Amino acid sequence: MASSGVRTFSDLQGRKVGVFGLGVEGSATLRRLQLLGISAVVVDDAPKELDGSVLPTANGGLETLHACEVVLKTPGISSYREDVLSLKATGVELRSALDLWLGEVDPKYVVMVTGTKGKSTTTSFLAHLLRGLGKSVVLGGNIGYPPYDPELAQAGELTVLEISSFQAEALTMVPPLVGVTSLGEDHLDWHGSVDRYVADKLSLTSKPGAAVAVVADEPVLRAQRALLGPGPVFVAPSELDRALSSVAGLSGDHHHRNVAVARELLERLIGPTAPEALLDAAVGYQHLESRFTDLAPLGGIRVIDDSLATNPLPTIAGLAGLSKDRVALILGGRDRGVSYEPLAEVLEARTVPTLVLCLPENGPRIAGELTPSDLLRVEVVDSLPEAVDRGLSWAAPNGVLLLSPAAPSFGQFLDYRDRASSFAEAVNLHRNATTPSS
């Protein structure tokens, strides 16, 4: 691909360009092209526009993309789909807008963070620390907005990006400094297999430009040493990391590991920093929305929104902090083919009563991987409101209602935020029903 000479957005001038997929990234890509005066054909699997400006993939769109020289594909469309492979086979150059943006900036001022879980917290905490130390920072990527979107209107000394496995696979180069927080199974519907998911995810550490990968010191990551690039640095939490976690309100061993990765990335980016300065910078960290967030309790019932848990690993981490609590857990969502066996082992090993409420579409499959017992009850439900009803009734008077789906939200909901909003609304119906009228 490098032989084509396309390294930046400006290199697309005079070429026939296509944009494949009009989600958040695709829309930002189109705005960037329009700003540069570069015209492009736009194709989407399910266009919302009815004026013909966006072509349906299955109704003339794919043929139009075949006539392009370069196609900028949104990360949500799998690189292993037959239509994408057909474009490659006929000589169409498939690139990512993030890749072209990276070709325009000085990569030594960019940090990329990936991981099956923990990457959002690590990325946002790193940006928070840097800002607390007086640095101007653009935070984006899979968290927030694409850095190439002209609507951002942001500038900063440093750019900190959360990178998904989809985005990592499409990059042809990376910055010198990257971070890896964890590794499990996810997005098998996109990657096709666990091995390919792991290879695509960890490719962020070894593509051209890579120098140092700061990696959470976990056995599963050490076992992948051969895929971690030229210079992996394994970091375990120190007493300083635990103190930083405490100041930031990030409890649990998994957050201690995230903080350790963030601190090591910071010091490799801007140099050694006094512990006192780091602790001061950690003050005021805002937790991610829907990441194990307590809603107002309902009577004596603790209500937790962990809608951002889109694979089993964060759900397992959340349950670790509730080992002594009676928990009604709401699981399930879009089926990406991942194994729920590790989560099943955790649930079956709990020593306090637990109710698991399994939502569509993969709820029945999750239920099938669980073995009910005197302490573990499993039910398949049809909707989130039904799960909330059952969970609150069972958790009373002083248990926990936990929404931690271990699956994406697409299908029943627009995204994890929509799912979280629906959860809060269903809980509030009960809250309002128990509030005396004035």
Enumerate domains of the chain plus CATH numbers. 2-98 (3.40.50.720), 105-282 (3.40.1190.10), 293-433 (3.90.190.20)
Q: Is the bond leading into 361 cis (omega within 30 degrees of zero)? A: yes
Q: Which helix (H) or strand (E) holds 234?
A: strand 232-235
Round to whole Å and give the CA distance between 372 and 375.
Answer: 8
* Residue range 335-349: mean pLDDT, rounded: 91
Average pLDDT along the chain: 93
312, 336 Cβ separation under 8 angstroms: no
Round to whole Å and give the CA distance between 251 and 95.
Answer: 39
Look at residue 132 in the predicted model and tell me its pLDDT.
97
Look at residue 155 in the predicted model and tell me its pLDDT.
74
Cα atoms in the Cβ-side hemisphere of radius 13 Å centred on 259: 27
Tokens of 258: 């995230």
Look at residue 293 in the predicted model and tell me its pLDDT.
87
Look at residue 291 in the predicted model and tell me its pLDDT.
83
236, 217 Cβ separation under 8 angstroms: yes
Residue 156 gets the label, from left (phi > 0), alpha (psi -120 to 50) or beta, of: beta
In the predicted model, is pLDDT for residue 152 greater than 80? no
Residue 379 makes CB contacts below 8 A (sequence gap 6+) with: 355, 356, 357, 358, 367, 390
Render pLDDT for 275-325 as a digit per residue (tens, 0 to 9): 999 999 999 999 888 888 889 999 999 999 999 898 898 899 899 889 999
Q: How confident is the model at residue 438 (pLDDT cuts 50, 70, 90)?
A: very low
Q: Which amino acid is at 427?
A: V
DSSP assignment letter at 56: E
Q: How confident is the model at residue 436 (pLDDT cuts 50, 70, 90)?
A: very low
Q: Which residue has the tokens 């927080």?
A: 181
Look at residue 162 in the predicted model and tell me its pLDDT.
96
- Pick the more confident residue, 376 or 5: 376
115, 123 Cβ separation under 8 angstroms: no
pTM reported for the whole predicted model:
0.83
* Residue range 130-148: mean pLDDT, rounded: 92
Look at residue 4 in the predicted model and tell me its pLDDT.
67
Look at residue 437 in the predicted model and tell me its pLDDT.
43
160, 138 Cβ separation under 8 angstroms: yes
User: Between the CA of residue 305 and those of 186, 336, 405, 417, 430, what are the distances in Å?
Assistant: 21, 21, 10, 10, 16
Q: How confident is the model at residue 386 (pLDDT cuts 50, 70, 90)?
A: very high
317, 258 Cβ separation under 8 angstroms: no
Look at residue 153 in the predicted model and tell me its pLDDT.
61
* Burial call 173-211: b when 16+ CB within 10 Å, e when fewer: ebbbbbbbbbbbbbbbebbbeeebbbbbbbbbbbbebbb
* Residue range 169-196: mean pLDDT, rounded: 93
Question: Virtual CA dihedral for 260, 262, 268, 273, nearest 10 degrees?
Answer: -80
Look at residue 61 in the predicted model and tell me its pLDDT.
95
Residue 125 makes CB contacts below 8 A (sequence gap 6+) with: 248, 250, 258, 259, 262, 282, 285
* Residue range 392-400: mean pLDDT, rounded: 96
413, 407 Cβ separation under 8 angstroms: no
* Residue range 248-268: mean pLDDT, rounded: 94
Q: How confident is the model at residue 108 (pLDDT cuts 50, 70, 90)?
A: very high
Q: How confident is the model at residue 156 (pLDDT cuts 50, 70, 90)?
A: confident
In the predicted model, is pLDDT for residue 175 greater than 90? yes
* Residue range 219-223: mean pLDDT, rounded: 97
